[in-house]
């Protein structure tokens, strides 16, 4: 086949790929699903890899490539092109595919068994469109200690990270052994580390009145019994969780403690934890949030009305001045007309 024939095929292939991408986008909206690639940077910030190892050349299943380092907004989760400005480069790669021209291997990061493109996003997109199942790649592995699967979206990945953090927290503290009734669950990553800081802070506080160093276990149990549990009890008694759908008591514990510290800095140390909890609920809970949204909308409307009135008055003044300037010369001309 001639070069023009290959170029014509590539144009048709790109048009079909764009049509499939648009259909996939509409279907995802109807199903309320995500239709985007994972961002390598976001996944790294969540999983915080411990080490990096060069694996060399590998043959990688294309269906395990689920994200990109820098082009995750240009392709959907099936690596179909989301933008028409990708046409030129995409079609050149597709021409090479039809002409059976060997292209350089792509470069990938491997994290927990799934892959992210460092270089070669268009080659992956063309290969998937053409039904290719495997692709040669130069691979660098990032160690995270947990296996992931290609069907994971951002929300599921987030839940997996939180689950991993909880496992590590319980392994390090053994809180579930000493307090079997403890149910500490978070909806966001990084919170279990914050709990450990709370425990160490509490241990330091109670250790000030002791001549010997208090063991970590004693500080942990004292924190749970005298700090965490009383705050959770207040959350239950005041029914604060109802104002934060989708969140947990542990989430509220962290936020209320932060809010309590802020109130004490601003108004002194007389604020009780119950006052801090109810104030937090009033300010940031769903009823309070809706009230603030409504108040903000009213303020915005008032500002818009004031600006509109100011502009209307300014236009009226300008029109009046224009009319005065237009009338002035005519009156002077009538006074100086000959014969008067």
pLDDT above 70 as % of the chain: 92
- The answer to whether 160 touches 152, Cβ cutoff 8 Å, is yes
Which range scores top for mean pLDDT: 41-50, 163-172, 261-270? 163-172
User: From CA 108, how far away is CA 101, in angstroms rounded?
Assistant: 21
Residues 256-282 have a mean pLDDT of 89
Packing angle between helix 154-173 and helix 40-47, nearest 10 degrees?
Answer: 20
Model pTM? 0.65
What would the two tokens of residue 314 be? 């300014």
User: From CA 90, how far away is CA 111, in angstroms rounded?
Assistant: 26
Q: How many CB atoms lie within 10 A of CB 242?
A: 11
Query: Please, which pLDDT band fits residue 114 given cuts at 50, 70 and 90?
Result: very high
Task: Say whether pLDDT at 135 is over 80.
Answer: yes
Q: Which of 55, 158, 35 has its CA nearest to residue 115?
A: 55
Residues 131-160 have a mean pLDDT of 88
Q: How many CB atoms lie within 10 A of CB 115?
A: 28
pLDDT digits (tens, 9 = 90+) for 181-204: 999 999 988 899 999 999 999 999
Provide φ and ψ at 52, rounded to 5°: -130, 130
User: From CA 207, how far away is CA 214, in angstroms rounded?
Assistant: 6
Please list the residues that pair with 140 across neighbouring strands. Answer: 54, 109
Alpha-helix runs per DSSP H in 268-285: 273-284
What integer pLDDT is reported at residue 289 of this predicted model?
Answer: 52
Q: CB under 8 Å to 324, separation ≥6 — which residues? A: none
Distances in Å between the Cα of 284 and the Cα atoms of 119, 250, 266, 275 are 44, 16, 18, 14
Distances in Å between the Cα of 233 and the Cα atoms of 27, 224, 225, 253 are 44, 12, 11, 10
User: From CA 104, how far away is CA 136, in angstroms rounded?
Assistant: 9
Task: Say whether pLDDT at 288 is over 60.
Answer: no
pLDDT digits (tens, 9 = 90+) for 25-46: 898 888 888 888 999 998 888 8
pLDDT digits (tens, 9 = 90+) for 290-316: 455 556 677 777 888 888 888 888 888
Q: Which helix (H) or strand (E) holds 104?
A: none
What integer pLDDT is reported at residue 337 of this predicted model?
Answer: 52
- For 268, which DSSP code? -
Cα 68 to chain centroid distance, Å, stands at 16
Distances in Å between the Cα of 70 and the Cα atoms of 63, 108, 171, 296 are 19, 12, 36, 37
What would the two tokens of residue 76 be? 């959907």
Task: Say whether pLDDT at 257 is over 60.
Answer: yes
For residue 181, how many C-alpha atoms fall within 13 Å in the half-sphere facing its CB?
6
What integer pLDDT is reported at residue 333 of this predicted model?
Answer: 47
At 201 the three-state DSSP class reads helix
Distances in Å between the Cα of 325 and the Cα atoms of 319, 321, 322, 331, 332 are 10, 6, 5, 11, 12
Alpha-helix runs per DSSP H in 238-339: 249-267, 273-284, 286-335
What integer pLDDT is reported at residue 251 of this predicted model?
Answer: 96
More confident: 332 or 323:
323
Residues 227-250 have a mean pLDDT of 94
């Amino acid at each position: 086949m001639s070069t023009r024939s290959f170029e014509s095929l590539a144009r048709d292939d790109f048009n079909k790929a764009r049509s499939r991408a648009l259909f996939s986008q509409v279907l995802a909206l109807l199903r309320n699903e995500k239709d985007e690639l994972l961002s390598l940077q976001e996944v790294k910030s969540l999983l915080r890899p411990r080490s990096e190892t060069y694996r060399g050349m590998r043959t990688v299943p294309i269906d395990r490539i689920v994200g990109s380092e820098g082009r995750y907004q240009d392709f959907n989760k099936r690596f179909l092109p989301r933008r028409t400005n990708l046409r030129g480069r995409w079609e050149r790669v597709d021409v090479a595919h039809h002409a059976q021209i060997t292209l350089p291997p792509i470069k990938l990061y491997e994290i927990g068994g799934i892959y992210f493109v460092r270089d070669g996003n268009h080659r992956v997109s063309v290969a998937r469109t053409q039904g290719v199942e495997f692709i040669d790649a130069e691979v660098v592995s990032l160690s995270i200690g947990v296996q992931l699967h290609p069907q994971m979206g951002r929300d599921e990945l987030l839940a997996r990270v939180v689950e991993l953090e909880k496992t590590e927290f319980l392994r390090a503290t053994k809180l579930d052994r000493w307090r079997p009734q403890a149910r500490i669950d978070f909806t966001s990553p990084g919170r279990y580390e914050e709990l450990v800081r709370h425990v160490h802070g509490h241990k330091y506080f109670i250790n000030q009145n002791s001549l010997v160093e208090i063991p970590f276990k004693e500080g942990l149990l004292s924190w749970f019994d005298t700090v965490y549990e009383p705050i959770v009890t207040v959350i239950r008694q005041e029914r604060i969780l109802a104002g934060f759908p989708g969140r947990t008591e542990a989430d509220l514990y962290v936020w209320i403690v932060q809010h309590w510290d802020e109130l004490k800095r601003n108004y002194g140390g007389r604020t009780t934890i119950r006052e801090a909890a109810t104030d937090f609920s009033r300010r940031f809970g769903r009823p309070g949030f809706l009230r603030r949204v409504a108040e903000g909308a009213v303020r915005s409307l008032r500002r818009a009305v004031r600006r509109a009135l100011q502009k209307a008055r300014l236009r009226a003044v300008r029109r009046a001045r224009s009319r005065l300037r237009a009338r002035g010369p005519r009156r002077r001309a009538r006074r100086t007309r000959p014969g008067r």
